[in-house]
Chain A
Amino acid sequence: MLSKPSQKNMVNDVIRSKNSKRSQLIWYVFLAPAFLGILCFMVYPIIESLRLSLFNSSGTGGTWAGLDNYKTVLSSGDFWRSVYNTFYIGLFQMIITIPLGFIFASMINTVSFAKNFFKVIFFLPNVTAIVAAAMIFTFVLHPDMGLLNYFLGKLGLPTPLWLSNPGTAKWAIILLGVWHWIGFVIIICLANLQAISSELYEASTIDGASGFQQWLFITIPNMMGTFAFLLITGWIGALQRFNEVYVIGGTTGSPNRSIQTVVAYIYEHGFTGFQFGIASAATYVLFVIILIFTMFNLKITNMKL
């Protein structure tokens, strides 16, 4: 085959020119399922959503509203409170989970046995559906009969009311978020830790660097891209938080809207109030924020657009 490259190329050229029209068309057949889906479930809904956000509507038709829906949303105290809740929960979930997950991953990466055992154990919460996890946590965090307050009490620490108090309810969601997400952070960190060239470590060992120095000056700088990836995917997920707050606090994020996220706000207006215009305007505000985060994400993960 290798001995006659020119002949092979000639044959290919002949085939290509003969079937070029037909063989081009066949590729569209390959792409038909995906693009049919993109048209129906991406392009149309996004345009229709924009249209709805400019109309006073509870279904088809409706009257032109211009930017009124946006004005309503952006001047609504409930909306801004949901934005605040979403960012508060997301921020603290990430501030806790990423460093903690990275430390665990570094430890798992350097222990000389049971590596896989630890990987499996730490990732287990992430395998559980967040809805089931929320169900379990309503009991774990119960102020009087819950497991957490029992241990906090034993240790002589304060025992908050968690989900029964608007002041601490967000922290209950954050705890659940940390518990559920930490496995993902560990797995991503481990994969990238193993991709750091061992030559870097070998060279610095010869120079007499200790394990901790290596971690500080080689591992952490090499993991910056991974942290950025986790931060951005974490934010994209956090901005879309809904499942656990819906299970625990319902559509309005009780107690007292303290855990209502933006998506819960959208759901409340779109599917319990059927105010499609207002809900669509809120989704567009959210969409723009997520879009910015996602573009950053694609940039750092080298998926060039």
Chain B
Amino acid sequence: MAVLTQKKTFYLSNVIKVIVLLICGFLLMVPFIWMISIGFSKTANVQMPFPPRLIPKDPSWFNFKLVFENGQIFKAYLNSGIITVCSVLIGVTSSLLGGYAFSKGTFKGKKLMFIIVLGTLMIPMEPRLIPMYEMFNKLGMLNTFWPLFLPALVNGFGIFLCKQYFDRLPDSLRESAQIDGASELGIFFKIYFPLTGPIAATLVILTFISSWNDFVWPLVVLNDPNLQTIPLYLASFTQENGTSLGGLTMALATVSVIPIIILYLFLQRFIIQSIALSGLKE
């Protein structure tokens, strides 16, 4: 009897939880649904549909056509893509190499150097903005992509993660290769690098997200509208138009957000794991 009521309450609480989660999850999704709906409304550019409706009175591709014909969004995608790919390549390479040295290497100043690497985690972007702006200004690199991906060399958290990962790989792999006379670089690239898949994937995801969404630094460095990244383009569009042109703004938001959401849905397991890893205490 007692077991039966226990089962019943378990079942009941399960149902209640699922209902609450469904309602709250739906509420979180409402802004997205509304964004898409407004994007399909031509009249929303003059007068936002009120009361709100799921399917616009006059569904049309008008706003999307304008967004695509204007083409600025594709340029922004290309710019964001170039910057992100370069940042990821540079960041992941530097982290893997650094993490490997701190894990397997024996050299003078190792401990101090590792402290310096962890110390970089304490330094935010803001106090570095002006000197870095001046530095790249002197080098004539403003309005190029160099200032945006070169700083990816420093990835203290990436090095830390890689060191932990390499610590778990056995030293015996190295030792047998050393006996065969392989060089350190050879050992790294031939033996350890092929084993770095999981940690490299995590680093790619974390670097991709931070680079793709980066805002302040690109805002400072890039003034040329042709070089704008997606966040810069969206920001300048919003600042120009405010809350007029609702339909066009929402179509633009849709085009900038949906591809990332689709990518996320495909990779959700890995992305969520990577985010969780960044906050999991051992």
Binding site for B on A (CB under 8 A): 1, 8, 11-12, 15, 23-31, 33-38, 40-42, 44-46, 48-49, 52, 59-60, 104, 107-108, 110-114, 116, 118-125, 127-140, 142, 144-145, 147, 150, 179, 182, 184, 187-188, 190-192, 195, 211, 225-226, 229-230, 233, 236, 240, 242-243, 246-248, 250, 263, 266-267, 270-271, 276, 279-280, 283-284, 286-287, 290-291, 294-295, 298, 300-303, 305
Contacts of A290 in B (CB 8 A): 122, 124
Q: Is B74 an interface residue (CB 8 A)?
A: no
* Complex CA distance for A137 and B253, rounded to whole angstroms: 11
A188 pairs with B276, CB closer than 8 A: yes
Closest to A127 in B: B264
Complex: chain A residue closest to B249, CB-CB = A135
List 29 A-B residue pairs with CB atoms under 8 Å apart, sorted by A's residue number: A15-B179, A24-B106, A24-B108, A27-B184, A30-B188, A37-B152, A40-B150, A41-B150, A41-B154, A45-B127, A45-B131, A46-B131, A49-B128, A107-B21, A111-B17, A119-B268, A122-B28, A127-B264, A129-B257, A139-B249, A140-B31, A179-B28, A187-B275, A187-B279, A188-B276, A191-B280, A226-B279, A266-B129, A287-B123
B234 at the interface (CB under 8 A from A): yes
Contacts of A28 in B (CB 8 A): 107
**Contact call A226/B21, Cβ cutoff below 8 A:** no
Decide if A37 touches B50 in the complex (CB within 8 Å): no
> Contact: B115 with A242, CB < 8 Å?
no
CB distance from B100 to the nearest CB of A (A): 6
In the assembly, what is the distance between CA of A108 and CA of B97, in Å? Answer: 38
B219 to chain A, nearest CB (A): 8
CA of A179 to CA of B72, assembled, Å: 28
Q: How far is the CB of A220 from chain B (nearest CB, A)?
A: 16
Taking a contact as CB atoms under 8 Å apart, the answer to whether A38 and B234 are in contact is no
Q: How far, in angstroms, from A2 to B186 measured CA to CA in the complex?
A: 25
A15 proximity list for chain B (CB < 8 A): 178-179
Contact check, B100 vs A30: say whether CB atoms are below 8 A apart. Answer: yes
List the 7 shortest-distance A-B pairs measured between CB atoms, nearest first: A37-B153, A191-B276, A45-B128, A145-B48, A30-B101, A48-B131, A27-B105
Contact status of A145 and B130, CB under 8 A, knowing A37-B154, A240-B124:
no
List residues of chain A with CB within 8 A of the CB of B70: none
Measured between C-beta atoms, what is the minimum distance from B7 to chain A in Å?
12
Cα–Cα distance between A303 and B120 once the two chains are bound (Å)? 13
Contact in complex: A247, B239 (CB < 8 Å): yes
Task: Give chain A residues whose Cβ lies under 8 Å from the Cβ of B119.
Answer: 305
Other than the known A112-B14, A131-B231, A135-B253, what 6 A-B pairs have Cβ atoms closer than 8 Å?
A33-B98, A34-B97, A37-B152, A124-B32, A247-B234, A295-B122
Stretch at the interface among B55-63, B193-201, B209-217: B209-217
| Interface residue from A41, A127, A147, A284 paired with B151 (Cβ < 8 Å) | A41
Q: Using a CB-CB cutoff of 8 Å, which residues 7-38 of chain B contact chain A?
A: 13-14, 17-18, 20-21, 24-25, 28-32, 34-35, 38
- Which of B129, B238, B272 is the one whose CB lies under 8 Å from A123? B272
* Distance of A124 from chain B, by nearest CB (Å): 7
Smallest CB gap from B115: residue in A: A305
Is residue B67 within 8 Å, beta carbon to beta carbon, of the partner chain? Answer: no
Q: Are A110 and B17 in contact (CB under 8 A)?
A: yes
Which B residues are CB-close (under 8 A) to A25?
107
Q: Please state if A129 and B212 are interface contacts (CB–CB under 8 Å).
A: yes
Residues from chain A with a CB closer than 8 A to the CB of B213 are 129-131
B134-A60 in contact (CB<8A): yes
**Chain B proximity of A174: nearest CB distance (Å):** 15
By the criterion of a CB under 8 Å from any partner CB, how many residues of chain B are at the interface? 111
- Residue contact B116 to A38, C-beta cutoff 8 Å: yes
| A125, A131, A279: the one within 8 Å of B28 (CB) | A125
Q: Which residue of A lies closest to B269 (CB)?
A: A116
Q: How far is the CB of A272 from chain B (nearest CB, A)?
A: 11
A34 lies within 8 A of B29 (CB) = no
Contact partner of B128 (CB less than 8 A), chosen from A46, A127, A279, is A46
Is there contact, CB below 8 Å, between A243 and B216? yes
Q: Is B117 an interface residue (CB 8 A)?
A: yes
A44, B135: Cβ atoms closer than 8 Å = yes
When the two chains form their complex, are residues B131 and A49 in contact, meaning their CB atoms are under 8 A apart? yes
- In the assembled complex, the Cα of A87 lies from the Cα of B100 at a distance in Å of 40
What is the minimal beta-carbon distance from B123 to any residue of chain A, in angstroms?
6
Q: Is the CB of A26 within 8 A of B129?
A: no
Please give, as numbers and ranges, the residues of chain B lying within 8 Å of A229 by CB-CB distance: 279, 281
Say whether A114 contacts B18, CB under 8 Å: yes
| Separation of A11 and B180 alpha carbons in the complex (Å) | 11
Shortest Cβ distance from A23 into B: residue: B184
Closest CB of chain B to A207's CB: distance in Å?
A: 15
Query: A24, A230, A283: which contacts B127 (Cβ < 8 A)?
Result: A283
A271 to B196, CA, bound (A): 41
B113: interface (CB < 8 Å): yes
Q: Is the CB of B118 within 8 A of A303?
A: yes
A191–B172 CA distance with the chains assembled, in angstroms = 32
